[in-house]
Structure 1
């Protein structure tokens, strides 16, 4: 192995160690307090990657009775601190079954019954710009699991399983939104009850950010929610990032880029 290969090798070892540690903390039931810009909560995760997240800080500034949609909720690192000790309603979308199960455990540790408690409503589905189903690649590094096989195999991970998961357009789910000339919220039963119009939408979906926003265009136009987007491949000149930036700007949103986190206000 050359010296030039060492950083990539160390990165792979670091991620492998991290995910094995997470498996252990969940198996043993070891929860620790996580201090964040939105308050302290308990989690079985061994690390606290979003403790000083600027997007989480922006979301926490919205009113305590607001509705927040967490698209790509993972294990609840945004959803739980935003819901805990407030009157907010957080609707969390997570297509990865393992991550969703861990979100439920973390929520329960904080006194939130995910899926039944009005403050934290878990939907085990993906969002995009078309309704149907897509193959979802379960990665051995759970955070890498994605609708894209290449992303599921980053940092030395491998695909552990492939499963078809339901995908909805957000415009098909939000109460009272009319998309393509048809009010379709009444047909949202497969993903649960119609969703309250959002005050904020957070998106972290491993490269499918633009598809999620396109599927929420009518909702965004009608309600002008705060948008917090974690951008993958977000460097200047990247085609995906440039297309995403243009789409958001064309809807009269100001984009405040904080590294990989974009805080967008209309």
Structure 2
């Protein structure tokens, strides 16, 4: 940890305060404008963490009638500005029921309830269902219990959620539920799935090969270790290994990577 890094306890207090504030703004119905590189929209979130996001900027340059898959849509920080004032179709996959509810509220606040197709499911490399650990820090919620308990968070609930392969959804290969209804071949896929990036992309291998969509991937490692320097070093090594495997998989499929911090903009 560098001298400028905040201590772990301070980050935990900050996260706890942020999520309690979000609970309050949603409970009171307090929406505020969020200015982003893709335009301005209204949200009940108290902060605007993706306002100058490089991946959102790349996605905003898509044609105004593009189809975008948002894997790990959270509360709509990408989906909503990309859909607003355009004819784009956004299909948002969000396995966290609480986040999906909030995404729906934010979409309705912007008049986009019928323009953003919110699917309460995950994407991966196998069709089925998995236990999803809903964290008290909602952005930490994941299919992995350890990730859901970072920074002093707790597991608020464990929910069994459906998981689809994007290839099956795009091809219409009989998923059998509304969450798996067929979608048009995507012009872009945004992935923010707390360490499961490779699983999502493996499940979309045929789509990538055939349609060559733009990819925007937020790269996560194995988790954060707080102030324990040995654990932090181990997490850093795990993240490096994960990033190397992800880069190799993309390269083998003809995708180049432009790194913008933790966000990768990948073109085939």
Tell me if TM exceeds 0.5. Answer: yes
Q: Secondary structure at the match of 1:27?
A: helix
**Aligned residue-pair number:** 251
Cα gap change, 1:11/1:197 in structure 2, threshold over 3 Å: closer, same or farther?
A: same
How far the C-alpha of 1:186 sits from its partner, in A, is 4.1
CA distance, structure 1, for counterparts of residue 61 and residue 15 of structure 2:
32
How far the C-alpha of 1:106 sits from its partner, in A, is 0.3
1:222 is aligned to 2:210: yes
How far the C-alpha of 1:241 sits from its partner, in A, is 1.1
Tell me whether 236-245 or 209-218 shows the greater mean CA deviation: 236-245
How far the C-alpha of 1:192 sits from its partner, in A, is 4.2
Partner of 2:160: 164
Partner of 1:55: 55
Q: Secondary structure at the match of 2:7?
A: helix
TM-score normalised to the size of structure 1?
0.91
Partner of 1:69: 69
Q: Secondary structure at the match of 1:22?
A: helix
CA distance, structure 2, for counterparts of residue 204 and residue 14 of structure 1:
22
For residues 1-266 of structure 1, what are the structure 2 equivalents within 5 Å? Answer: 7-113=7-113, 117=114, 119-175=115-171, 185-190=172-177, 191-233=179-221, 238-266=240-268
CA distance, structure 1, for counterparts of residue 176 and residue 82 of structure 2:
26
Which digits, 9 at most, give the CA deviation of each residue in 1:2-56, with x for residues without a partner? x9x9710000000000000000000000000000000000000000000000000
Which digits, 9 at most, give the CA deviation of each residue in 1:87-119, with x for residues without a partner? 000000000000000000000000011xxx2x3
Unaligned runs of 5+ in 2: 223-235
TM-score normalised to the size of structure 2?
0.90
How far the C-alpha of 1:163 sits from its partner, in A, is 1.4
CA distance, structure 1, for counterparts of residue 180 and residue 264 of structure 2:
29
How far the C-alpha of 1:123 sits from its partner, in A, is 0.8
Unaligned runs of 5+ in 1: 176-184
Detail structure 1 runs of 4+ shifted over 3 Å in the superposition.
234-237
Partner of 1:182: none
Q: Secondary structure at the match of 1:195?
A: coil
Contact 2:164 2:180 in 1 (8 A): no
Cα gap change, 1:6/1:197 in structure 2, threshold over 3 Å: closer, same or farther?
A: closer
Which digits, 9 at most, give the CA deviation of each residue in 1:170-207, with x for residues without a partner? 011003xxxxxxxxx14033124201100000000000
Q: Secondary structure at the match of 1:11?
A: helix
